[in-house]
């Protein structure tokens, strides 16, 4: 199993915007071969920045790579190319992991 994890850190009070964007069910990604599921997690914090993790499970790394190269996925990123990130986004990153069990 292969995991794609996106971490988005936002200013306090803005996590709901990120959660809404990534919580939509279905869509093109859900139709991709090897897609298993997606979870959106919010790190509990008493104050300060909020952290949202989007974890997407794939059957294999090759399934994930096929999605990354899919014309619809690329078109979605091109549509946002050059646009500034929302001002409430402090940082974002992505990592990938392979299950060892």
Q: What is the pLDDT of residue 17?
A: 95
Are the C-beta atoms of residues 93 and 35 closer than 8 Å to each other? no
Q: What is the pLDDT of residue 75?
A: 87
Q: What is the pLDDT of residue 83?
A: 84
Per-residue pLDDT of the chain (101 residues; tens, 9 = 90+): 999 999 999 999 999 999 998 988 778 899 999 999 999 999 987 788 999 999 999 999 999 999 999 998 888 878 777 888 899 999 999 999 999 98
Going by C-beta distance under 8 Å and a sequence separation of 6 or more, which residues neighbour residue 2?
57, 58, 59, 60, 61, 63, 64, 96, 97, 98, 99
Going by C-beta distance under 8 Å and a sequence separation of 6 or more, which residues neighbour residue 41?
52, 53, 54, 55
Looking at domain 2-98, its CATH class is: alpha beta
77, burial (CB in 10 Å: exposed 0-12, middle 13-18, buried 19+): exposed
Q: What is the pLDDT of residue 80?
A: 75
Residue 97: what are its φ and ψ, rounded to 5°? Answer: -140, 150
Domain boundaries, the chain: 2-98
Q: What is the pLDDT of residue 61?
A: 96
């Amino acid at each position: 199993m292969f995991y794609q994890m996106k971490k988005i850190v936002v200013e306090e009070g803005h996590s709901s915007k990120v959660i809404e964007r990534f919580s939509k069910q279905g869509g093109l990604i859900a139709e991709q071969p090897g897609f298993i599921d997606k979870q959106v997690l919010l790190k509990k914090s008493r104050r300060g920045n909020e952290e949202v993790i989007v974890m997407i499970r794939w059957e294999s790394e090759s399934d994930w790579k096929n999605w990354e190269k899919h014309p619809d996925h690329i078109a979605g990123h091109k549509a946002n190319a050059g646009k500034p990130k929302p001002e409430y986004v402090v940082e974002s990153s992505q990592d990938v992991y392979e299950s060892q069990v």
